[in-house]
Chains A and B, each alone.
Chain A
Amino acid sequence: MKVLIRGAGVAGLTLAHELATRGADVTVVEQRMEIAGNASWQAGGMLAPWCERESAEETVLTLGRGAADWWDAALPGHVSRRGTLVLAPARDAGELDRFGQRTSGIKQLGASEIAALEPALAGRFTRGLFFAEEAHLDPRKALLALSDKLRGMGARLEFGGSSAHAISDIEVDCTGIADRRPELRGVRGEMLILRTDEISLARPVRLLHPRIPVYVVPREQNLFMVGATMIECDTAGPITARSAMELLSAAYALHPAFGEAELVETGVGVRPAFADNLPRVERDGRKIRINGLYRHGFLLAPAMARQAADMILGNPAAKDVALEANR
């Protein structure tokens, strides 16, 4: 079975891996000259289905809870399973209750437990929530490692080309917002990357705020990704001053050391989303589309890849999975 995948973001590469593992002949074609710069490149990389459930539908939890295992199996050593810490400034402590009411899988933490988990935050917060089952990865490292691994498995990755000539049995569009369809809308996300050796965190920390909820994800080399805005808009222009100010002030509220950090990068990505903010795998003859991963690329791409691979290679269990995914 020859499969052509358009798009080397997280949707395209997870599908390529799923298909290659199952023995298909895979070619991935990407319009860009390299992986860097797509929406997946700007992602937080949190595998946090319980936290997401606070504002997303149950489907996100159902489909997302297997994501950490999938990434761990595909890229051993990339997944960090240290949970998610959710905090709120003392004045907004009520936000923790509100957040907790909307989801499950929570452990309530007091000041000493927060200090034990994240010594750098000792004395700064009196209450928090801990989602012990959650995980995270570095999206950039994961995308690069996945593409290297795919090449090793014999898959072809072609950058900067349309590859209209490629002969395939099935074609899968994983181009995200570039697949300009009327049902699909863009939700702009802005983020920034800070560097400081004055503070270290072991896990993603979400800081609740009634208006500006943010997360800070630690990465290697003293880097911290701070994200992300959600704006109903599909322009990918530079980050706005207001968004940068809000992200920075939230990071500063988490710990003043971020005030002295170097601002090494700002990034903007456009998340592809359907009206229900849930992803879809759709088939039209020899063409398949995976899209609408919204803010859940790394979390939901594995489930979508499995579903599409079942559709392509005919797994008998495919129907149940597809039904479940489409509710």
Chain B
Amino acid sequence: MLDLYGQKLSSRLLLGTALYPSPAVMAEAVKASGTEIVTVSLRRETSGGKSGGQFWSLVQSLGVRVLPNTAGCHSVSEAVTTARMAREVFGTNWIKLEVIGNHDTLQPDVFGLVEAARILASEGFEVFPYTTDDLVVAERLLDAGCKLLMPWCAPIGSARGPQNLDALRSLRGHFPDIPLIVDAGIGRPSHAAAVMELGYDAVLLNTAIAKAGDPVAMAAAFGKAVEAGREAYCAGLLEPRDMAVPSTPVIGMAAFS
């Protein structure tokens, strides 16, 4: 079972709640995916928690855990303030920490991220840091008090899929006991299965489902792909080899007769 800050979860898919054709479709997609955690943006979806009552109560009615995020924050102080507000509004210590460093690529500002993670961890937050696949940054985040890591596999919403499998493999190899969640860049179920086959613990995505032709059907497809990738990893994958090996026994065949 997946264990995130002491919470045991059976689904290894985390879902964002933005960009769907309607909240009703979003709710259906959440059900179809089997996810147990959804992320909610305090800023864009609930207007700083000032109101946004209806959307928030719909999310609550889904019966899944909420992981508030600091999407859209470009500085440490913004992210920290947003996280504190999210704790009040959503009543949870969980925070998906995003500190955006580049407006164009939405690449995380890893320096600000480490700083914000240290502040929030010292205040008792359980931080889910959205980071790059950089190994050294990952170490700094763990030093700062994060107990899990959420590396991207490609820029947010780009649907490009894993751009650097070696880096993802290296992270997995270096941190065998830290929950690793691929956050951002997944475009297709095959991408999700591919990173799960590397031994990643979970996948977080939004756009690939929300902007699909049929988000509910796509949510189900991703649910299956994540499960398939995990089961394949646990089953032990066959490493590729250069030579063909027959899968049918040759001994006893009526060959060359």
Interface residues of A (CB under 8 A from B): 55-57, 98, 101-102, 182, 184-186, 188, 210-211, 231-235, 273-278
Interface residues of B (CB under 8 A from A): 21-25, 27, 44-47, 50-55, 58, 157, 211, 213
Known A276-B22, A276-B24, A276-B25: A233·B51 in contact at CB below 8 Å: yes
Most B C-beta atoms less than 10 A away, residue of A210, A232, A235: A232
Known A98-B211, A184-B54, A185-B54: A233·B21 in contact at CB below 8 Å: no
Closest residue on chain B to residue A181 by CB atoms: B54
Query: Cβ of B44 and Cβ of A234 under 8 Å apart?
Result: no
Whole-angstrom distance from the CB of A189 to the nearest CB of chain B?
12
In the complex, the 9 A-B pairs of residues with the closest C-beta atoms, listed nearest first: A185-B54, A233-B47, A277-B22, A276-B24, A232-B55, A275-B24, A232-B45, A233-B52, A275-B23
Known A185-B23, A275-B23, A276-B25: A235·B50 in contact at CB below 8 Å: yes
How far does the alpha carbon of A273 sit from the alpha carbon of B22 in the complex, in Å?
9
Whole-angstrom distance from the CB of B23 to the nearest CB of chain A?
5
When distances are taken between beta carbons in the complex, the residues of chain A under 8 Å from B50 are 233, 235
When distances are taken between beta carbons in the complex, the residues of chain A under 8 Å from B157 are 210-211
Q: How many pairs of residues, A versus B, come closer than 8 Å at their CB atoms?
A: 58
Query: Cβ of B21 and Cβ of A234 under 8 Å apart?
Result: no
How far does the alpha carbon of A211 sit from the alpha carbon of B24 in the complex, in Å?
22
Contact residue among A182, A186, A233, A275 (Cβ-Cβ distance under 8 Å from B22)? A275
Name the prevailing secondary structure of the A interface residues. loop
When distances are taken between beta carbons in the complex, the residues of chain A under 8 Å from B54 are 182, 184-186, 232, 234
Query: Cβ of B51 and Cβ of A235 under 8 Å apart?
Result: yes
Name the prevailing secondary structure of the B interface residues. helix
Closest residue on chain A to residue B59 by CB atoms: A232
Whole-angstrom distance from the CB of B248 to the nearest CB of chain A?
43
Contact residue among A182, A185, A188, A274 (Cβ-Cβ distance under 8 Å from B47)? A188
For the A-B complex with A232-B55, A275-B22, A276-B22 known, give 5 more contacts whose Cβ atoms are closer than 8 Å.
A182-B54, A232-B44, A233-B51, A275-B27, A276-B23
How far does the alpha carbon of A231 sit from the alpha carbon of B55 in the complex, in Å?
10
Closest residue on chain B to residue A278 by CB atoms: B22
Closest residue on chain A to residue B210 by CB atoms: A55
How far does the alpha carbon of A231 sit from the alpha carbon of B51 in the complex, in Å?
11
How far does the alpha carbon of A211 sit from the alpha carbon of B211 in the complex, in Å?
12
Known A231-B47, A233-B51, A235-B47: A277·B21 in contact at CB below 8 Å: yes
How far does the alpha carbon of A278 sit from the alpha carbon of B25 in the complex, in Å?
12
Known A210-B157, A232-B45, A233-B46: A101·B213 in contact at CB below 8 Å: yes
How far does the alpha carbon of A184 sit from the alpha carbon of B44 in the complex, in Å?
19
When distances are taken between beta carbons in the complex, the residues of chain B under 8 Å from A232 are 44-47, 52, 54-55
How far does the alpha carbon of A233 sit from the alpha carbon of B24 in the complex, in Å?
16
Contact residue among A210, A231, A235, A276 (Cβ-Cβ distance under 8 Å from B44)? A231
When distances are taken between beta carbons in the complex, the residues of chain A under 8 Å from B24 are 274-277
Contact residue among A56, A185, A188, A235 (Cβ-Cβ distance under 8 Å from B21)? A56
How far does the alpha carbon of A106 sit from the alpha carbon of B24 in the complex, in Å?
28
When distances are taken between beta carbons in the complex, the residues of chain B under 8 Å from A233 are 46-47, 50-52, 55
Known A102-B213, A231-B44, A232-B47: A57·B21 in contact at CB below 8 Å: yes
Closest residue on chain B to residue A232 by CB atoms: B55
| Interchain residue pairs with CB less than 8 A apart (26) | A182-B54, A185-B23, A185-B53, A185-B54, A185-B58, A231-B47, A232-B44, A232-B46, A232-B55, A233-B46, A233-B47, A233-B52, A233-B55, A234-B51, A234-B54, A235-B47, A235-B50, A273-B22, A275-B27, A275-B58, A276-B24, A276-B25, A277-B22, A277-B23, A277-B24, A278-B22
When distances are taken between beta carbons in the complex, the residues of chain B under 8 Å from A235 are 47, 50-51
How far does the alpha carbon of A98 sit from the alpha carbon of B23 in the complex, in Å?
21
How far does the alpha carbon of A98 sit from the alpha carbon of B159 in the complex, in Å?
12
Query: Cβ of B21 and Cβ of A55 under 8 Å apart?
Result: yes
Whole-angstrom distance from the CB of B53 to the nearest CB of chain A?
7
